[in-house]
Chain A
Amino acid sequence: MHRPSDTLRQAQGRTALLRMGFALMFLILALRAGEVASWPPPPQPHPYEEPQRPRRGNIVDARGALLATDIAGQSLYADPHLIAEPDTTAQALARIFPNAGDMTQKLRQDARFVWLARHISPAQARAVLEIGEPGLVFRAEPERVYPQGPLAAHLIGHTDVDGRGLAGVERAFDGALAAGQDVRLTIDIRLQHALEREIGAAMETFSAKAGAGAILEIATGRVLAGASLPDFDPARAGAASADRRFNRLTLGVYELGSLFKVFSTAAFLEAYPKEGLAARFDTREPLRSGRFVIRDYHPEERILTTAEVFEHSSNIGAALMAERVGTERLKAFYAALGLLEPMPAWPLSEVGRPLVPRPWRDISTLTVSYGHGIAVSPLQLATAAAAVLGDGRLRAPKIVEEIGAPVAARQVLSTATAQTMHTLARLVVTGGTAKEADVLGYAIGGKTGTAEKPGATGGYDSTRIISSFVGVFPAHAPRYLILIMVDEPKGTKASYGYATGGWVAAPAVARLVQSMAHILMIPPIGESGNNV
């Protein structure tokens, strides 16, 4: 038993024990603090250092209007190490980006860089700033914008989120654009708008599902406008359906029917230059060849001249012409016009391969004379038609302006035949199947086409047609070629139930020529070429 003074003395002594114990404890803590401080610094934030891509070149139209350009934009990423509360942050982000997927999983990653949203709008950036989370970081990124919206979307093309060209000019000229060079197109955006407006109006009037068209400058082969409808906004190409993104002008191939009479008639005139327009064709009876029977849509039931065959679009007459031309010569002529192979010189990668008869029998020669059994892309047909209805010289279509470059042209038929074709084409508009295409003072000449589409079970489906018109103006010395094609139009009350090329495409071309006259300030002229 201790006396109080003993216990006090013991307590006094034991304070030294506690003093030493705590001194040791604090020494350990201080050493540990020094050790941790001398560790190599932890990974720095934002180690993602991909060099910023240089500003991508502009795409402009022939007159310099901006079609595609880069603007300063920003993207959002996360540094998950900086984010204290991933769940609540993810909830806040989900309200700003409802379609961005599982943000929680991204914010919980053991990384220092995770993309959350690319190319966000200023309003979204502001909302993100208001979350006030330091782990949400913006990165300046150029953003591709298309000021003309969906106009010429299939030709201009689009890029992926990192600015790499995926289609159209953006893809074909990716190298130059990525290096910051501008690309000038032959497109005139005013004509482009007029063309898309008229095709769109025809599609709406006749409840069609699609359409395509082009305006070519005959002397140079420049594509002044090229359309494929329905279209899409290239800035949001990823959200568009494959059907909308499909390029019907150069990648799709179609049986365009009677438009081919332009080529078969020209082939006949080339083969029989002396007989020429004086030839007669008996179209009173359907033409039988083996198990095939060739009939006319509006039978004239008489003997027709060459001009009348063309004017009234007689299938029997065209087949009889082709029969006289012969398989080898017709095939060679079509090949010279570039109708049997994919367009060789088109710079964009969306090029369709024509469907031609294989094997090519004699009956094929009869059917391809009026455009059955052969499918080509609309631009391919327009190119060939520009030669036949123009000056007889074939020029590869151009989409990119090449200042000073010579125009490569190849004579594919005689000038005399081409002159005759102008006259025939003008007859179609003045007295034949395309009276709706006439515009006073602009002497349009052309050819209608109404083709049944192949049916689902073989053969042809008379309820699903492609109606088209290819024309030139002014007809005595053509400068411009226009092609309009409408896919699956339905007849209306105003058209008496008809949905043929003459009813659907010809009036659209007439309205387009009126617009072109205003836009290009083309004065009206008389029928023979003198001023009115």
Chain B
Amino acid sequence: MARAFSRADDSLLARWWWTVDRVSLAAFGALMLLGLMLVATASPTVAERISLPPYYFLFRHAVLLGPCAFAVLGLSALGPRWLCRGACLLLVAALAGLVAVLFTGGEVKGAQRWLSLAGQSVQPSEFAKPALIVVTAWAVTRPYGVSLTWGRRAAVGLWAVTVALLLAQPDLGSSVQITAAVAAVAVLAGAPLRLAGFGLAAGAGGLVAAYHALPHVRSRVDRFWDPASGDTYQVDRSLEALSSGGFFGVGPGHGAVKARLPDAHADFMLAVAGEEMGAVLVWAVLALFALILWRGYARLAAGQDMFAVLAGGGLLALLGVQVATHAGSALALIPAKGTTLPFLSYGGSALLSASLTAGAILAFTRIRGQPGLSRGTLTPRGAWP
């Protein structure tokens, strides 16, 4: 493949090939294939329980994988300007969807998250997340030379509106994820670290203290935000699955947790993976995401475009926080929150949104040196050790 493009080739395709992070691209591809496998093992049980054809979820997931792969590749070839325009349009659409969902959305387990669009169920919050990050990054970098503050105020305003709409559903998990990712953008954009650290500590400490210290708060919070997590049933089943899987698992298809947890194919996919293929697979999944984050931030450290650094950094943070909340829930490190594991969980909106995020990350982490130079000189000044 590498032979297909000469470094002297100046075509769009050749420029993309030599500038994109091919290791991360391969990691995303591996995650998508792994996801297909996990949906294949976890979803037939769930589908049969709710009286759907056994391969209903698998079929839908597989059909969506093609467009998603195309979206990853296509977005990764776009320049920052186009990504920004696309993100603005997507954010407008997603916010409209979030408003609509409050009035017309179907209620599933006590929360209104789903919108029916052209016969398909769409979850606008999944698309609001990456779009808001890119738009925030654009807003805080935009006003060079005009005014330093209006862009930041606009960014804070957009964040507040989005989080308010999410909390109205209610969707605490997405609110926390989006807030963490916006905070990452703010840190990169130069927010005082003391302020960021203080805010983080105060927010987290307050949440944790209230949650653990007062049983009635804990119970009310649980029931208010997510009625399904009113007891510890789900987390107990998840831990039981992971410990029975041990290091090498009980074997693909032999797991039991998918039969016990109503949403195992989405919110507890890591437990399914750990039970059937052991901690080895859990580590492999975490390693793939860690690889993407590590390489992504390393390449951004050499980024020459402030918008690309902020947007790419924010999207990487969003990806990392999503993985951390899913894995943290499954491993009982944080209160159970129904969030998907990007690429591995079933869920059309989540898969498409994860693909958009991945494509944008690959685009923002491309190294835009002067084409035609040797590989060594592609590295911008002072960036790579």
Q: A16-B297, A19-B297, A26-B290 are in contact. Are A32 and B333 (CB under 8 A)?
A: yes
Which of B48, B306, B313 interacts with A7 by CB under 8 Å?
A: B306
A42 to B261, CA, bound (A): 17
Q: Are A41 and B279 in contact (CB under 8 A)?
A: no
Cβ-based interface call for B246 (8 A): yes
Chain A, residue nearest B264 (CB): A84
* Complex: A526 Cα to B301 Cα, angstroms: 126
Task: Name A435-479 residues within 8 Å CB distance of B.
Answer: none
Report the bound CA distance from A38 to B242 in whole Å: 9
Within the complex, which residue of A8, A13, A15, A23 is in contact with B290, where a contact is CB–CB below 8 Å?
A: A23
Given the known interface contacts A11-B313, A23-B294, the answer about A33 and B306 at a Cβ–Cβ threshold of 8 Å is no
Tell me what chain B mostly uses at the interface: helix, strand, loop, or mixed. Answer: helix
Asked whether A18 lies within 8 Å of B289 as measured between CB atoms, the reply is no
Contact with B along A36-76 (1 / 0, CB 8 A): 11111110010000000000000000000000000000000
In the complex formed, the residue of A with least CB distance to B331 is A32
Alpha-carbon gap, A30 to B302, bound state (A): 28
Contact partners of B324 in chain A: CB under 8 A: 25-26, 29
Contact of B279 with A11 in the complex, beta carbons under 8 Å:
no
Residues of chain A in range 73-117 having any CB-CB distance to chain B below 8 Å: 81-85
Interface residues on A, range: 35 or more
A523 contacts chain B at the CB level, 8 A cutoff:
no
Give the distance in Å from the alpha carbon of A122 to the alpha carbon of B156 in the complex. Answer: 66
Known A4-B306, A28-B333; judge A18-B313 contact (CB<8 A).
yes
Residues A502-521 near B (CB distance < 8 A): none
- B381 to chain A: closest CB distance in Å? 11
> Interface stretch among B57-65, B81-89, B105-113, B183-191?
B183-191
Q: How far is the CB of A83 from chain B (nearest CB, A)?
A: 7
A361 interfacial by beta-carbon distance below 8 Å = no
From A1, A10, A26, A39, B243 is in contact (CB under 8 Å) with: A39
Decide if A324 is an interface residue (CB 8 Å cutoff): no
Q: Main SS of the interface on chain A?
A: helix
Confirm or deny: A22 has a beta carbon within 8 angstroms of a beta carbon on chain B.
yes
Shortest Cβ distance from residue A215 to the other chain B in the assembled complex, whole angstroms? 60
What's the interface size class on B, roughly?
35 or more
Q: Cβ of A17 < 8 Å from any Cβ of B?
A: yes
Given A26-B290, A84-B260, also A33-B297 (CB < 8 A): no
23 contacts between A and B (CB under 8 A): A8-B304, A10-B190, A12-B301, A12-B302, A14-B187, A19-B293, A19-B298, A19-B301, A22-B294, A22-B320, A26-B290, A26-B324, A33-B242, A33-B283, A36-B331, A37-B243, A37-B278, A41-B246, A42-B243, A82-B259, A134-B259, A135-B259, A135-B260
Task: Collect the chain A residues with CB atoms within 8 Å of residue B301's CB.
Answer: 12-13, 15-16, 19
B259 touches A29 (CB 8 A): no
Contact of A33 among B144, B274, B289 (CB under 8 A): B274
Q: Smallest CB–CB gap between B374 and chain A, Å?
A: 23
* A33: B residues at CB distance < 8 A: 242, 274, 279, 282-283, 286, 327, 331
- Which residues of A sit under 8 angstroms from B153, Cβ to Cβ? none
Most chain B Cβ neighbours within 10 Å, of A30, A40, A41: A30
